[in-house]
Amino acid sequence: EIVLTQSPGALSLSPGERATLSCRASQTVSSSYLAWYQQKPGQAPRLLIYGASNRATGIPDRFTGSGSGTDFTLAISRLEPEDFAVYYCQQYGSSPTFGQGTKVEIK
């Protein structure tokens, strides 16, 4: 099983600031099969990024995914009020696993 470790656990930022979230895998994620999701309270996760760097339909370009191998990053260029949420990474190069999440909270 590939274990995904997200850091930091929480990030306190102000609207307009840049957020950088990390996801590190215990083994190489084949074909950069890594996705990112956003989850707000009481809602299901929402797909943001797939294939490490491809934005899902309707996702604003302030969300950027990057990385390969074992190290992946989600960057949010300028935080909007609706971006404060929990973010999860997920790998699908083998039996799917998720990271434990990073909470982006308002400072």
Partner 1 sequence: QVQLQESGPGLVKPSQTLSLTCTVSGGSISSGVYYWSWIRQYPGKGLEWIAHIYYSGSTDYNPSLKSRVTISVDTSKNQLSLKLSSVTAADTAVYYCARERRGFYGGNWGYFDYWGQGTLVTVSS
Residue 80: closest CA among 35, 40, 24: 40
Q: Among residues 40, 96, 105, 106, which is the contact residue for partner 1, using CB under 8 A?
A: 96
Angle value at C-alpha 67, between 3 and 41, nearest 5 degrees: 60
Q: Among residues 100, 105, 106, 107, which is the contact residue for partner 1, using CB under 8 A?
A: 100
Contact present, 49 and 59 (Cβ < 8 Å): yes
- Tell me which residues in 12-41 interact with partner 1 (CB under 8 A): 30-31, 33, 35, 37
Binding flag, residue 95, partner 1 (CB under 8 A): yes
Binding flag, residue 93, partner 1 (CB under 8 A): yes
